[in-house]
Amino acid sequence: MNSADLADLVGTDTIAVVIASGLILVWGLALGVWKYHGIRTSPEHTAHVYVDIAHRAALMYSFATLVLAALVELSAFGPVVNLVAAAVPIVFFVAAIAAYCIHGALRDTTNQFEKPMPGTYLFMLALIVGEIGGVLVLLAGVAVRLT
């Protein structure tokens, strides 16, 4: 099967989201190596809490992104609407994983909300609206297709 055959089966918007899911999954697996290194080498035999969180979040977000791909494929909306609706949560997924990685590498906190950076709460509000909003747009597209 070549790429033209795949594009005949699913939309290019779906393909893009599936690729994003795969990349996040690979990132999560690589974070598992970092987590294992922390477990193996630390005196407490534990990885830093944010390395652990980054690993778990990346794995969960990779599968959440795969659900977004299914919603994109089933949506009645056009590829641009679907891709933007899926991209918003994916960008926030990636930003969250990156933030966890930074805290894990710096070992600067065990609770990023204990002493939040300026803009943290605004970012969290945007994350909430963006993630939920993107999924709701895609669900609306599926509902339109079903009616």
pLDDT of residue 92: 98
Question: Which band of pLDDT confidence, cut at 50, 70 and 90, is reported for residue 25?
Answer: very high
What pLDDT sits at residue 5?
77
Burial group, residue 67, by CB count within 10 angstroms (0-12, 13-18, 19+): middle
Question: For the chain, percent helix, then strand, then coil, each to nearest 5?
Answer: 80, 0, 20
- Amino acid (one-letter) located at 47: A
Residues 6 or more apart whose CB falls under 8 angstroms from that of 28 comprise 55, 57, 58, 59, 61, 62
On the question of pLDDT at 135 being above 90, the answer is yes
Instruction: Record the pTM.
Output: 0.93
Domain hosting 124: range is 3-146
91-114: b or e for each residue (b if 16 or more CB lie within 10 Å)?
Answer: ebbbebbebbbebbeeeeeeebee
Residues 19-26 have a mean pLDDT of 98
pLDDT for res 76? 98
Residue 12 is predicted with a pLDDT of: 94
Does the structure show a pLDDT above 80 at 7? no
Task: State how far the Cα of 85 lies from the Cα of 74, in Å rounded to an integer.
Answer: 13
Residue 3: is its pLDDT beyond 80?
no
Q: How many CA atoms lie within 13 A of 44 on its CB side?
A: 5
Give residue 6's pLDDT: 75
pLDDT classification of 74: cutoffs 50, 70, 90: very high
What's the structural domain count of the chain?
Answer: 1
Arithmetic mean of pLDDT over the chain: 95
> Mean pLDDT across the stretch 85-104?
98
